[in-house]
Structure 1
């Protein structure tokens, strides 16, 4: 039993050394121990390389505006475990999180003794599903990685399956070609659940279409121009956000056709109001500091296009960090297209690339081990012609965001 939240969180984070463990048998064993809540949930399952967080937030907000208790499972988030599990935007409470952890503890210990160790993420999924099954009418569930072997893929009967896009990420687990990665993402497609996707590559589309045909479900393809057709205009900037918003709006139209009562005017209003931390977020006006979690090459391309559209006349200084399994040399090369100056750094996470690795990957770019000093210096420099961007891993972005919010009054 856990006496407090700190103990429960420490127990979960102590399992990070187990790493990413694709496959469903462990999470199924855990879920069985808490009454198979995944079978009781009405859910919408979202996979994709980028855009899952934005799309799920648009969709959950639209459901909330229409009077539903809209559950969400989100990862990562600035607020960690509690923020990742929400109903109508309200986090799971500390007491409820501890209760859900306690309910799983004996099963986890039994599995550990059998050398069948459930990972941090698998336990996290079970906590989320158990809570959401009790408290939400419809839950929007983000896959963690891939789809087919992701712990969230125990959802056998989702209402809808959404695949945001496909890019090169987690190749060690998902495959080395777009088609192989698409096959993993398409693993969330189930019989009875129509598919909506914004995937653009022909090979990936073919894979997804074949999977949809095998499951005998229709598929709707979404592009940025569909935002106009669906009459939505999201606050979050960039063509990629118009795509994400259109995915959510199309999902609401399909839900309406399935008999779920939704007012489309409320859907549009809800989607247009969403603003997420770390998605081209203006976190400071003097100096101008913008945070964006462009955590892979595809996300970086979308970020760069948005910078070009909005800050083409400014000097651009960038602080960048990424996980060690990301193509950071390629991402730095992409950033050089827009940047006046780039600084690479590391941050507090087991998977973060260290300064030596970063420096070796791109020797001509400055590296600092102290990103906090870089942030403090911005306030002292007082450059009115410069826009500062912090980009890369969302985990890094959230650490920087917390640091700025906590310390801005002192500078």
Structure 2
């Protein structure tokens, strides 16, 4: 028999979407029971939200790592290599460790389950939970894939800390059409036995109410990060970072510099500071020095990330109206709209494209539109150009980037946004 490889597994995984089926999480819990509950061998921070999960998760995992902990981090999407979704102390899982975890699971898979009964994301979730146990992590920072209640990651027991980042309308066909529906889905990660749920700032009143009711019902203390912590900018932020003054209940007023760019990162950092307060109350030894080191060292691919300098090329995975609004605000706050500016944009067809286009139209930019690398879901560049008069359709992301850079010259700025599939393509161009 041929040796099982990582590549073979990736090709064999079931790519169906079953996240809207109510019984999937229970099925995964049955499998975890057969596996001996590897997820109970470490402490967990579970993160849900529409926008901000990646940055919040990155900051928390880096902080725990700085404090000397062994930390697993599960997030999506990956930029270049799918194995980036499972990281241990910042290093993506090896192909062999991935295969080993898979084999451990299939060896105890209860009847009548077959490997093909589970979707690719469900497999990644199970493998992640087993791999973290194999690696003997102290903490796992786990970001949901979609929603919360019916997300595969919600098969875990009550986490030590639940975190809910900014909530907005996205994936409405699956999660529901209202902000209350979105909040209800995300609130599913709150479980009886969790000490705290931390809520990010600037939530819609309806969303906040849903979270409050769920937390109260389950006896989980809700921590409002906006009341617990403050983050203030000092001076003008630049592409090199944002000088800040931070403060929370357990963090005295301290100066630092956040490398993660974008006005929305201030909310994410506020959420992290409130989370630090909660973790310290739980006895986790996190020092202020480690906190500042994490803040000043954190970077995140695809989130207001600068890839080039002359001209500046910045990529941002804003893929819903709320993310786009925050991106446009950040562009203006950084003064990038006062430089020659170009946009390279591509969308998935199932997104609220009209709302995002309206946001971008407030920028004085030349716009080059492309078809993202997702044949099943991408909105064709030609169709987008019809919806967005004055834009220039391009045959490829590399062609669009080249034309945009030429349009703005060395002193200008190119912003690439709209879909993570487009961001991945641009990231790959800078890997060679």
Residue 242 (structure 2) pairs with residue 239 (structure 1)? no
Residue 404 (structure 2) pairs with residue 403 (structure 1)? no
Q: Which of 341, 344, 353 is matched with 2:366 structurally?
A: 341
1:372-391 counterparts in 2 under 5 A? 372-378=398-404, 383-391=409-417
Equivalent residue number for residue 9 of structure 2: 8
Query: Does the 8 Å CA contact 2:62/2:294 hold for their aligned counterparts?
Result: yes
Query: Does the 8 Å CA contact 2:43/2:138 hold for their aligned counterparts?
Result: yes
1:1-400 counterparts in 2 under 5 A? 3-12=4-13, 15-18=14-17, 20-22=19-21, 23-105=24-106, 107=109, 111-112=113-114, 117-135=117-135, 136-193=137-194, 194-199=196-201, 200-223=203-226, 226-227=230-231, 228-230=246-248, 231=254, 233-310=257-334, 311-349=336-374, 350-362=376-388, 364-378=390-404, 383-400=409-426
Deviation at 1:112, TM superposition (A): 4.8
1:73-96 CA distance string (max 9 Å, x none)? 011121433111111101111110
Partner Cα distance (2:173, 2:114) in 1: 25
SS in 1 for 2:349: coil
Shift of the 257–348 alpha-carbon distance from structure 1 to 2, 3 Å rule, reads same
RMSD value, Cα? 2.3
TM normalised by structure 1 equals: 0.91
Deviation at 1:382, TM superposition (A): 6.7
Query: Does the 8 Å CA contact 2:341/2:408 hold for their aligned counterparts?
Result: no
Shift of the 111–396 alpha-carbon distance from structure 1 to 2, 3 Å rule, reads farther
Partner Cα distance (1:371, 1:291) in 2: 12
TM normalised by structure 2 equals: 0.87
Query: Does the 8 Å CA contact 1:2/1:102 hold for their aligned counterparts?
Result: no
Partner Cα distance (1:80, 1:247) in 2: 28
SS in 1 for 2:117: coil
Partner Cα distance (2:408, 2:379) in 1: 30
Partner Cα distance (1:19, 1:360) in 2: 34
Partner Cα distance (1:47, 1:211) in 2: 14
Partner Cα distance (2:20, 2:296) in 1: 37
Partner Cα distance (1:73, 1:204) in 2: 25
Query: Does the 8 Å CA contact 2:368/2:404 hold for their aligned counterparts?
Result: no
Uncovered stretches (5+) of structure 1, i.e. residues with no partner: 407-411
Partner Cα distance (2:82, 2:110) in 1: 18
Higher relative helix content = 1
Query: Does the 8 Å CA contact 2:339/2:411 hold for their aligned counterparts?
Result: yes
Query: Does the 8 Å CA contact 2:184/2:211 hold for their aligned counterparts?
Result: yes
SS in 2 for 1:45: strand
Partner Cα distance (1:61, 1:399) in 2: 26
Deviation at 1:320, TM superposition (A): 0.9
SS in 1 for 2:341: strand
SS in 1 for 2:415: strand
Partner Cα distance (1:127, 1:104) in 2: 8
Partner Cα distance (1:81, 1:2) in 2: 21
Shift of the 81–104 alpha-carbon distance from structure 1 to 2, 3 Å rule, reads farther
Uncovered stretches (5+) of structure 2, i.e. residues with no partner: 232-245, 249-253
Between 1:18-27 and 1:177-186, the stretch displaced more is: 18-27
SS in 1 for 2:141: strand
Partner Cα distance (1:361, 1:108) in 2: 51
Query: Does the 8 Å CA contact 1:290/1:389 hold for their aligned counterparts?
Result: yes
Deviation at 1:131, TM superposition (A): 0.7
SS in 2 for 1:353: coil
Equivalent residue number for residue 409 of structure 1: none
